[in-house]
Chains A and B, each alone.
Chain A
Amino acid sequence: MTKSALATRFLTKWGFTLAITGFAVLVAMASYVVFEYRNFARLEIHTNEVISQLRQLEASIERAETSQRGYLISRQLSFLQPYHKAVYLVSQELTDLTQLVADNPLQVWRAKNLDRLIDERIQKMETIIDEASRLPMSQVAKHIDTETMNELRTEIGKMETEELNLLAERRKYSQRFSALSIVFLIFGGLSAFLLLIFSARLIRTAAKRNMEQSSLISQVFDSMTDGLIVINKDLVVTHSNRASDLITEKKLRGMTLAEVYSHSRPATAGDAPADIDYRNSSLYRALRGETVLRFEVTMGNVDRKLISVDARAVVGEDGEIVAAFCTYQDITQRRATEDEWRNAREAALQASRLKSDFLATMSHEIRTPMNGVMGMATLLLATDMTNEQESYVKTIKGSADSLLSLINQVLDHSKIEAGKLELDKQDFDLSGVIEGVMSLFRYLARSKNIDLKIVSDPAVPPALHGDPNRLRQILLNLVGNALKFTERGYVEVLIKPVDDTGHKLEFSVRDSGPGIPPDKQSHLFQKFSQVHDSKFVKAAGSGLGLMISRELVRVMGGEMGVESAVGVGSRFWFTAVFEVAKMASLCEWKPKGGREPLNGRILVAEDQVVNQLVIQKFLTSFGLECVIAEEGGAAVERAQSEHFDLIFMDCRMIPMDGYEATRRIRAFNKIIPIVALTAEGVSGEKRLCLEAGMNEVVNKPVDIDQIYRLLQGYLNKPDYDESQLDKLAEYESEGKSLIETLSEDFFTNGKALVVSLEESVRAGDLEKMKHYAHALRSPGLTLGLAAFAKLCAELEETGPGYDQIELRSKLDRLNSLYNRACGWLRQQTRSSKVS
């Protein structure tokens, strides 16, 4: 919220309160001032009354005095009448005065004083009048004095002055209050006016905002394609948009819910519209706290509409339900489109199936005569012909061959489309399949001068159970494609297991061909698709190959994909799930000739007699001495008492299993290589084995080649290149023979480097590890420690996504290779000295 908006909100909230409070204070003060002013005005009148009373009193006394004197001088009794009247008035007026000044204690006291003086005076006058009737005038006169009268006058004067003072004071106040009241009047009027303007403006803005908001809301509501109805707690529709009015065919706003649902749909088509109990309506239920989601109703009197309804309650700030709203979506059209689309798809699929069936039948029918053509052509080739004739027949045969392969592809394709593609299940020799594929292409590869090679991971089981023919088909397709497009460089088939179990294999065919632009790659696996580009014009074929291959891979439980970069080459890969061949087929494998015999003593811990026999057969065929231990405990005992070069350890044995046996052997012999033999590759088993201290894991059924390679790695002396030492023998460095100097360096620095390398692996510092590996490789190479240098090179190549366990086992090998290399070097230097 902006600052100004906040200020406006504050003003609207508190402005009124403030203004009204201010106004009330103003009014209160003004009325106080007016009240005071009135008070002082009254007091002023009062003072004036007192003064006039005083003057009357003075006048009455003087009149009494004058009358008395008149009597004394004239001695006429007629003068006494006004005198008595005056005396009477004086007493009356004095009483009035006392009453008037009752609010002023000082004046009351003075009035009493005045009363006393007047009493004294009247007393004296009475005495004189009395004496005057009896005594002569001269004697009377001495009683006449002016003293009391003067005193009286002074007292009245004092009272008058006091009152006049009061009057002046009160006048001052009343003037001030009258001025104040004028000020308040002006201020009050002004602020009332301002308040009026301010509130008028506020009311106008609020009204305008309300108008805008409600017009915006109703515009938004009306622009919605979905109907919307909002009802309040009293079941009256407060909002309804155009769409809802259209759907319900009523003007809903202001209606009660009962009215909304009266005559809302015919009970059955043709019937008179019937009322629905609004208490069953979604809106009513939503108001009761239910959330009514997505149900469909048929509505409308004329066109029956399919409506999807969605109702919810609106919860106020206090958590109480204050309203409910409901949206209506007219899905008549959508449902109709969906139905149409579904029908169309069904029809299309049906047509496609028919076409596939037709293709399958046709392909099959074509194959029969094609076989005739091919058979006859083959027979014809065997007869005596001229060179010209022979070349014609070869062309016929060649064309028939490609036609047949095309038909086969079409047949496969229709089988796939019809969902009739089934796989064969049989044991087969994987290397046989691969070799078969490669042999077909060798000639072509040689003629194009392309390096065609196979790289197979040793962990790939040699014997599999699955469909060799389909596998061959896929490989033929991929290798054929790769060779077709590649003009120079290489085509390489790589095979490796995807996981520990060895059941899922990944095959990839890599080439150094022209590559496929990224935008074309996604089309590769579609029907009849080839990369159409001037570079690829030589490509010929049905365009079905990759699509069929992918389908085959899918049926084999795998996936297929491609990675390619223009100008670099392509890699087509696929995975497939096989079962491992049954144990029985293992014995049929004949050890291939030409293996160099190995030397050594092997302990085999294995409890199953068949397996004992198999591995014993293998080992003795390699020229090794084989000792069998029936279970883990026996293996531990023999390993402790006899010398072995390597131990094969079955994992599942009773009573002591392979893991425990390994742990016990490791307690006293850390060096001897222990190779696990695990049955069905259970995932996680490899980790268990390595954690127990085994060096490597071999999955059963064991492959003779794999065992041989493995034993070769462990038993053969490290691959030393003695010729390298011979080459350096004649040189000298630092006063010794060069070899001696380098060897000594290798003994001292090498050990430190190996330790540092291990530490860097532990710290997870790959860069440092590579640095140390590099530093070890150089002397290794120079000194002819080929195997050691090779391992160092491997370590140098370690990528960021390396396998911890694999790396650790490499470190173990590095250690043992280093120790052996040192031994070998010592032997060499000694023997060279002797010689």
Chain B
Amino acid sequence: MAKILLVDDQDSILKTAEAILKKAGHEVFTAADGYIALEKLAIFTFDLIVTDANMPGISGFDLVKALRIGEKTRNTPIVMLTSRQEKRDVEKAIQAKINDYVIKPIDPNILISKINALLEKASGKAS
């Protein structure tokens, strides 16, 4: 079981991803925008972060940039949610040093398998 932070401005995505991750046995925290995400990140430590790419205010890319600078979150795996239209965003996201991305609409199997792979890799490194 891992502690996961979900960041997305769209309620439907939050609910869907939350339901999927909960069913997979993870502890899920949600944030409706980048500011809330940063607040929660200041209080808790997460094993993995799932964030939307395009959000008003702090965008997903800015969030990732910020996280990669922070001591605590530098090595936290990040999965980005992108749209099919935002092909360029995927490239941008990879440049922003995310660990993986999932194209919306979320396919539960893809999301779970990607997250589990990342978590395994992280725990392998840790141990």
Q: Report yes or no: A778 in contact with B10, Cβ–Cβ below 8 A.
A: yes
Q: Mark interface residues in B85-127 (1 if CB within 8 Å of A CB, else 0).
A: 1000000000000000000111111000000000000000000
By beta carbon, the residue of chain B nearest A742 is B12
Chain A, interface SS category: helix
Q: Given the interface contacts A727-B107, A781-B104, A782-B106, does A746 sit within 8 Å of B12 by beta carbon?
A: yes
Judge if A202 is at the interface, Cβ distance under 8 Å.
no
Judge if A775 is at the interface, Cβ distance under 8 Å.
yes
Report A775-803 residues with CB < 8 Å from chain B CB.
775, 777-779, 781-784, 793
Chain B, interface SS category: helix
Q: Report yes or no: B11 in contact with A745, Cβ–Cβ below 8 A.
A: yes
Looking at A742, A745, A793, which has the most chain B CB atoms within 10 Å of its CB? Answer: A742
Judge if A318 is at the interface, Cβ distance under 8 Å.
no
Residues of A within 8 A of B11 (CB): 745, 749, 779
- CB within 8 Å of A: which residues of B? 10-13, 15-16, 18-20, 23, 54, 56, 83, 85, 104-109
By beta carbon, the residue of chain B nearest A785 is B105
Q: Mark interface residues in A704-728 (1 if CB within 8 Å of B CB, else 0).
A: 0000000000000000010010011
Q: Given the interface contacts A727-B108, A731-B108, A771-B56, does A782 sit within 8 Å of B23 by beta carbon?
A: no
By beta carbon, the residue of chain A nearest B109 is A727
Q: Mark interface residues in A697-709 (1 if CB within 8 Å of B CB, else 0).
A: 0000000000000
Residues of B within 8 A of A452 (CB): none
Judge if A531 is at the interface, Cβ distance under 8 Å.
no
Q: Report yes or no: A731 in contact with B12, Cβ–Cβ below 8 A.
A: no
Residues of A within 8 A of B18 (CB): 733
Judge if A730 is at the interface, Cβ distance under 8 Å.
yes
Residues of A within 8 A of B108 (CB): 727-728, 731
Q: Could you tell me the distance in whole angstroms from the C-beta of B43 to the nearest C-beta in chain A?
A: 24
Residues of B within 8 A of A784 (CB): 105
Looking at A721, A724, A742, A781, which has the most chain B CB atoms within 10 Å of its CB? Answer: A781
Residues of A within 8 A of B12 (CB): 742, 745-746, 778-779, 782-783
Judge if A219 is at the interface, Cβ distance under 8 Å.
no
Judge if A469 is at the interface, Cβ distance under 8 Å.
no
Judge if A732 is at the interface, Cβ distance under 8 Å.
yes
Q: Could you tell me the distance in whole angstroms from the C-beta of A551 to the nearest C-beta in chain B?
A: 39
Residues of A within 8 A of B15 (CB): 733-734, 738, 741-742, 745
Q: Given the interface contacts A727-B107, A782-B105, does A738 sit within 8 Å of B10 by beta carbon?
A: no
What are 14 inter-chain pairs, A to B, with CB distance below 8 A?
A731-B19, A732-B19, A738-B19, A745-B11, A746-B12, A771-B56, A774-B54, A778-B10, A779-B12, A781-B83, A782-B13, A782-B105, A793-B83, A793-B85
Q: Return the contact of B16 from the options A742, A749, A793 (Cβ within 8 A).
A: A742
Q: Report yes or no: B105 in contact with A731, Cβ–Cβ below 8 A.
A: no
Q: Report yes or no: B19 in contact with A778, Cβ–Cβ below 8 A.
A: no
Q: Could you tell me the distance in whole angstroms from the C-beta of B18 to the nearest C-beta in chain A?
A: 7
Q: Report yes or no: A782 in contact with B19, Cβ–Cβ below 8 A.
A: no
Residues of B within 8 A of A779 (CB): 10-12
Query: What 9 additional pairs, Cβ within 8 angstroms, besides A724-B105, A728-B16?
Result: A730-B23, A731-B108, A732-B23, A742-B15, A774-B10, A782-B12, A782-B13, A782-B16, A793-B83
Q: Report yes or no: A778 in contact with B104, Cβ–Cβ below 8 A.
A: yes
Looking at B12, B13, B20, B56, which has the most chain A CB atoms within 10 Å of its CB? Answer: B12
Q: How far is the CA of A597 from the CA of B63 in the complex (A)?
A: 49
Q: Could you tell me the distance in whole angstroms from the C-beta of A322 to the nearest C-beta in chain B?
A: 74
Q: Report yes or no: A731 in contact with B85, Cβ–Cβ below 8 A.
A: no
Residues of A within 8 A of B54 (CB): 774
Interface size of A by CB at 8 A reads 26
Q: How far is the CA of A812 from the CA of B97 in the complex (A)?
A: 42
By beta carbon, the residue of chain B nearest A743 is B12
Q: How far is the CA of A784 from the CA of B106 in the complex (A)?
A: 10
Residues of A within 8 A of B109 (CB): 727
Residues of B within 8 A of A724 (CB): 105
Q: Could you tell me the distance in whole angstroms from the C-beta of A790 to the nearest C-beta in chain B?
A: 10
Q: Could you tell me the distance in whole angstroms from the C-beta of A737 to the nearest C-beta in chain B?
A: 9
By beta carbon, the residue of chain B nearest A784 is B105
Looking at A731, A774, A777, which has the most chain B CB atoms within 10 Å of its CB? Answer: A731
Q: Could you tell me the distance in whole angstroms from the C-beta of A742 to the nearest C-beta in chain B?
A: 5
Residues of B within 8 A of A728 (CB): 16, 19, 108
By beta carbon, the residue of chain A nearest B56 is A771
Residues of B within 8 A of A793 (CB): 83, 85
Q: How far is the CA of A336 from the CA of B15 in the complex (A)?
A: 88
Q: Could you tell me the distance in whole angstroms from the C-beta of B114 to the nearest C-beta in chain A?
A: 15
Residues of B within 8 A of A732 (CB): 19, 23
Report A511-538 residues with CB < 8 Å from chain B CB.
none
Q: Mark interface residues in A730-771 (1 if CB within 8 Å of B CB, else 0).
A: 111110001001100110010000000000000000000001
Q: How far is the CA of A745 from the CA of B15 in the complex (A)?
A: 10
Q: How far is the CA of A728 from the CA of B21 in the complex (A)?
A: 12
Q: Given the interface contacts A741-B15, A782-B13, does A731 sit within 8 Å of B20 by beta carbon?
A: yes
Q: How far is the CA of A775 from the CA of B107 in the complex (A)?
A: 19
Q: Given the interface contacts A742-B15, A745-B12, A793-B85, does A782 sit within 8 Å of B20 by beta carbon?
A: no
Q: How far is the CA of A462 from the CA of B56 in the complex (A)?
A: 44
Q: Could you tell me the distance in whole angstroms from the C-beta of B101 to the nearest C-beta in chain A?
A: 15
Q: How far is the CA of A655 from the CA of B107 in the complex (A)?
A: 57
Q: Could you tell me the distance in whole angstroms from the C-beta of A785 to the nearest C-beta in chain B?
A: 10
Residues of B within 8 A of A783 (CB): 12
Q: How far is the CA of A727 from the CA of B106 in the complex (A)?
A: 9
Q: Could you tell me the distance in whole angstroms from the C-beta of B8 to the nearest C-beta in chain A?
A: 8
Q: Report yes or no: B85 in contact with A782, Cβ–Cβ below 8 A.
A: no
Q: How far is the CA of A746 from the CA of B10 in the complex (A)?
A: 12
Q: How far is the CA of A771 from the CA of B106 in the complex (A)?
A: 21
Q: Report yes or no: B56 in contact with A781, Cβ–Cβ below 8 A.
A: no
By beta carbon, the residue of chain B nearest A729 is B108
Q: Report yes or no: A731 in contact with B16, Cβ–Cβ below 8 A.
A: yes
By beta carbon, the residue of chain B nearest A797 is B85
Residues of B within 8 A of A749 (CB): 11
Q: Report yes or no: A781 in contact with B105, Cβ–Cβ below 8 A.
A: yes
Looking at B13, B15, B20, B23, which has the most chain A CB atoms within 10 Å of its CB? Answer: B15
Q: Report yes or no: B19 in contact with A733, Cβ–Cβ below 8 A.
A: yes
Q: Closest 9 A-B residue pairs measured CB to CB?
A: A778-B10, A779-B12, A731-B19, A781-B105, A738-B19, A733-B19, A782-B12, A733-B15, A782-B105
Q: How far is the CA of A733 from the CA of B14 in the complex (A)?
A: 11
Q: How far is the CA of A784 from the CA of B10 in the complex (A)?
A: 16
Residues of A within 8 A of B19 (CB): 728, 731-733, 738
Looking at B13, B19, B56, which has the most chain A CB atoms within 10 Å of its CB? Answer: B19
By beta carbon, the residue of chain A nearest B85 is A793
Residues of B within 8 A of A745 (CB): 11-12, 15
Q: How far is the CA of A731 from the CA of B107 in the complex (A)?
A: 12
Residues of A within 8 A of B105 (CB): 721, 724, 781-782, 784
Q: Could you tell me the distance in whole angstroms from the C-beta of A300 to the nearest C-beta in chain B?
A: 76
Q: Could you tell me the distance in whole angstroms from the C-beta of A828 to the nearest C-beta in chain B?
A: 15
Q: Report yes or no: B16 in contact with A738, Cβ–Cβ below 8 A.
A: yes
Q: How far is the CA of A745 from the CA of B12 in the complex (A)?
A: 8
Q: How far is the CA of A724 from the CA of B110 in the complex (A)?
A: 13
Looking at A733, A771, A783, which has the most chain B CB atoms within 10 Å of its CB? Answer: A733
Q: Could you tell me the distance in whole angstroms from the C-beta of A729 to the nearest C-beta in chain B?
A: 10
By beta carbon, the residue of chain A nearest B54 is A774
Q: How far is the CA of A784 from the CA of B104 in the complex (A)?
A: 11
Q: How far is the CA of A417 from the CA of B37 in the complex (A)?
A: 70
Q: Report yes or no: B85 in contact with A775, Cβ–Cβ below 8 A.
A: no
Residues of B within 8 A of A721 (CB): 105
Q: How far is the CA of A778 from the CA of B56 in the complex (A)?
A: 14
Q: Could you tell me the distance in whole angstroms from the C-beta of B127 to the nearest C-beta in chain A?
A: 31
